[in-house]
Amino acid sequence: MQANFGQKAFISLVSLKSENLPIKEIPSQDLSLSDYTYFWQLWEQYRDYLYSRCLQWMGGNRHDAEDLFSRAMLKAWNQWPDYKSRITKPRAWLSRLIQNLCMDLHRERKREAQRIKNFEDIQFADYAVVTSRLESPESEIFSHELRAYLHHKIESLPTRLRQSFILRYCQDKSYRDIAKELALSEDNVYKRVQQARTILQKQLSKYLAGEDDTSLDSLPPRLRLVVSMVESKPDQKVISDWEVPMTTRSMEEINYKVTVTCLENLQHTWYSSPSPLGWT
């Protein structure tokens, strides 16, 4: 089974260490055998070595590697009759075949990333563009995971970039309105939005290519909640808090100095009086 884009992206979040598997040598005289039995003997013989290579090319992702290893096995089985006469080093041939498949998969993912590159196409409120491409249950998972990932990355943007970006893409405001709201020039807002886009595009490309190690476990609880909702209510539209008007949560810590600053009125000089009211 070919793992779809969403599934791969999801499982790519789990990082595993690759194992160093032992390489076993095959006697060269056995290479003249033409029946499929020989293929399976070879496959079994090189299995551990080939899997270790596959795991390495898939960046240590065991799920991706297993999936791809199955595909490679089928492809090799199919092509064996055509190539068996020309194969002098079967281990190298099998190894190359697996490597090519791995490269194909990486290229495919990169192409996906390119397709979601244009931020104007992404509706951050409901991710319509992203979800429209993903139909299977795995795609649903991926869509929510992507939502959580983007949340995380947008939250991680520097404040000055985040504000402008959210107003532009999550609240769909014009540059003019944002400039007015943040008391900045339109040029400045545009510049900030572009900077935020560049940062996010790079991160998203990495993520879609499976090169981002961001673990869902490391996300803040609020973002993990977004992901967990996929299991209980998969059809429910998650309302992003970015849809509500910009707030100033982070700036709400009331300043201690401002609070303690006060006009000191004249003090009653108790020590010069015979009683607190100065009465006798």
Partner 1 sequence: MNVHLVLDEKPNRQDQKLKTLSKYVQKYPQGWKKRLELADLLSGMGNWQQAIAEYRQVIERSPQLINVRLQLGKILQMMKREAEAIEVYGSALALSCNQGTQHHISGLIAVCKGDSHKAIADFNAATELEPDKIVHWLALGQVQKSRENPIGALRAFSQVLSLNPDDIVALIHSYDALMGVGDFQAAREKLNRAIALAPDDFGVLQRQLDQRCGMRLVSGEEGKQTKKLIGSLLRQAPHAAEAYKSLAYYHLYRGDWAQGVGVLAEFAEQHPNNPSGWYYYGQCLFHTGEYQAAGQMMLKAYGLYPNDCEIYRALCKILHVAGRLEELQPLLEEMLKRFPERWSVWATVGRVLVESFQEIERGCSVSAKGIELQPELADAWFGHGRVLALALKHQEAIAALETGWQFLPVAGGYLQSVPAAVWLGESYRSLGNDALSRRWWEEACGRSQELKSLNSATADYWQGRALEGLGDTFGAIAAYRNALNLQLFYPTRGEVKEALTRLQAAGRKNSPA
Residue with the two structure tokens 């020989």: 38
Q: Which of 25, 88, 221, 277 binds partner 1 (CB under 8 A)?
A: 277
Q: Which of 20, 32, 78, 265 binds partner 1 (CB under 8 A)?
A: 265
Could you tell me which stretch among 46-54, 82-90, 209-217, 257-265 binds partner 1 (CB under 8 A)?
A: 257-265
| 267 is a site residue for partner 1 (CB under 8 A) | yes
Minimum CB distance to partner 1, residue 249 (Å)? 6
Q: How many residues bind partner 1 (CB under 8 A)?
A: 41
Minimum CB distance to partner 1, residue 56 (Å)? 49
77 versus 270: smaller Cβ distance to partner 1: 270
Among 109, 107, 111, 93, which residue's Cα sits nearest to residue 42?
Answer: 93
| 188 is a site residue for partner 1 (CB under 8 A) | yes
| 268 is a site residue for partner 1 (CB under 8 A) | yes
| 217 is a site residue for partner 1 (CB under 8 A) | no
Amino acid identity, position 105? L
Could you tell me which stretch among 9-17, 30-38, 128-136, 260-268 binds partner 1 (CB under 8 A)?
A: 260-268
| 273 is a site residue for partner 1 (CB under 8 A) | yes
Task: Evaluate whether 126 touches 67 at the Cβ level (below 8 Å).
Answer: no
Phi-psi group of 141: left, alpha or beta (phi > 0 → left; psi -120 to 50 → alpha; rest → beta): alpha
Among 35, 134, 122, 37, which residue's Cα sits nearest to residue 85?
Answer: 35
Among 50, 46, 30, 38, which residue's Cα sits nearest to residue 97?
Answer: 50
Rounded Cα distance between 78 and 66, Å, is: 19
Distances (CA, A) of 60 to 45, 51, 205: 22, 11, 19
| 195 is a site residue for partner 1 (CB under 8 A) | no
78 versus 272: smaller Cβ distance to partner 1: 272
Among 107, 146, 140, which residue's Cα sits nearest to residue 124?
Answer: 146
| 186 is a site residue for partner 1 (CB under 8 A) | no
Binding site for partner 1 (CB under 8 A): 163, 181-185, 188, 246-249, 251-280
